[in-house]
Chain A
């Protein structure tokens, strides 16, 4: 479980996060949604320590991450896997070397064990046999899956996904969503997904928080989001004419 308590973050004169508090539960896919530029990626980067927070606390299973020294943070980060928006694969390495990298850096596995783990991770994301490809030779969807394979190679307790579906076609996006959901349930990971994709919300949103103007505006799940009376979240969820029509038809079905 990850707990964010009263987090504030400022860049120069501009405050980006205002007193954000949230709880992200283990074994569930926790979504952080919101329009672009509202602070959701900043929140995720604060949670993993890529940005220092101005005030507040972040707890990973009771361990106060924000109060740790850099060395202690590095230790805890070995329990974190992260899938980046652009996959962030090391382009000087092959797919296999990318997945092997955290293993060779932090585990005491033999070469044979590492190879088995790499093959397992690739199989888990349905990418067997691409070991020797370079990231530049992989499609966007493949890169995301390699990113997931790398993120889970060290059996993380926490998985962060920053806009995992950006730039993907709807079908591939569903494949990535399903993969994130399956891995979360299978390994009991605390997963935090940053997204503005409503399809993802509907597919995998066990718990959803809505960030607006740097504040936590709304909290619920994929079912309650459709019936929310909050005007800001409605304008986000039902932004398109198509979604507005769905809302109207849903209202029409009410007794």
Chain B
């Protein structure tokens, strides 16, 4: 019963989030701050994860390619496909659900328990629109940027791993990366990313905004937002894949 109430409250929240901002100049200032927090501050983590996981994907693929009938460039092709189709959009989004989602839930939750949200409401500000809308827009614009960045670094990580380990020549790996490349896969990956960005920001904001109690409850809300966002991401990953690839 509680789940149904939460789903209803979530959609009512969205109706208040998606309103015209009272002042565009203030929205723009908030948006740029969120680009910093959600986008730019996530670059080091995304870079580190993508490079190493790209390297591991290529090494694992190479270690399993002992069939002489398979061409050597298959390693590059599989690395490219794995990174574009699943690793960059989904795994990076799950990682960002932990980093960005928990940050949003605890930020908004702390504002709630310290009455800062009440102060906004008393002033006549639509607090959901003011706090959440810039985050949503920043996420749906900058998550795809992060994911494209992750794709490049993942493939670069694979390149470095194979070349340093002397498992493959750079030309063979690059030939693999370019083989059967389908631009539609990029559309698919970015569509997923936009959906995941929306899910992470709105679910985290929901748990932060409606937190009740004290600092302990903010911590619980933060954890819950990460868990629920991750589960919803996995469900939508399946749904979007079914709709777009099959």
- The interface of chain A, by Cβ under 8 A from chain B, is 45, 48-50, 73-78, 80-82, 84-86, 88-91, 101-102, 104-106, 160
The 9 closest A-B pairs by CB, nearest first: A77-B124, A88-B115, A74-B124, A88-B119, A78-B124, A82-B122, A84-B115, A88-B116, A102-B123
Against A, the Cβ 8 Å flags (1 = close, 0 = not) of B96-123 are 0000000000000000001110110111
Cα of A76 to Cα of B122 in the assembled complex, Å: 9
Say whether B123 contacts A105, CB under 8 Å. Answer: yes
By the criterion of a CB under 8 Å from any partner CB, how many residues of chain B are at the interface?
15
Residues of B35-57 at the interface with A, using a CB-CB cut-off of 8 Å, are none
- The interface of chain B, by Cβ under 8 A from chain A, is 22-23, 25-26, 114-116, 118-119, 121-126
Say whether A90 contacts B116, CB under 8 Å. Answer: yes
21 A-B residue pairs with CB within 8 Å: A45-B118, A48-B122, A50-B118, A73-B124, A74-B124, A74-B125, A74-B126, A75-B124, A77-B121, A77-B123, A77-B124, A80-B122, A84-B118, A86-B114, A86-B115, A88-B115, A88-B116, A88-B118, A89-B119, A91-B114, A91-B116
Q: B residues within 8 A CB of A48? A: 122
Write the chain B residue with the least CB distance to A73: B124
Point out the residue from A45, A49, A73, A84 that lies within 8 Å of B119, measured CB to CB. Answer: A84
Q: B residues within 8 A CB of A82? A: 118-119, 122
Q: B residues within 8 A CB of A90? A: 116, 119
Q: B residues within 8 A CB of A77? A: 121-124
Write the chain A residue with the least CB distance to B33: A92
Cα of A49 to Cα of B118 in the assembled complex, Å: 10
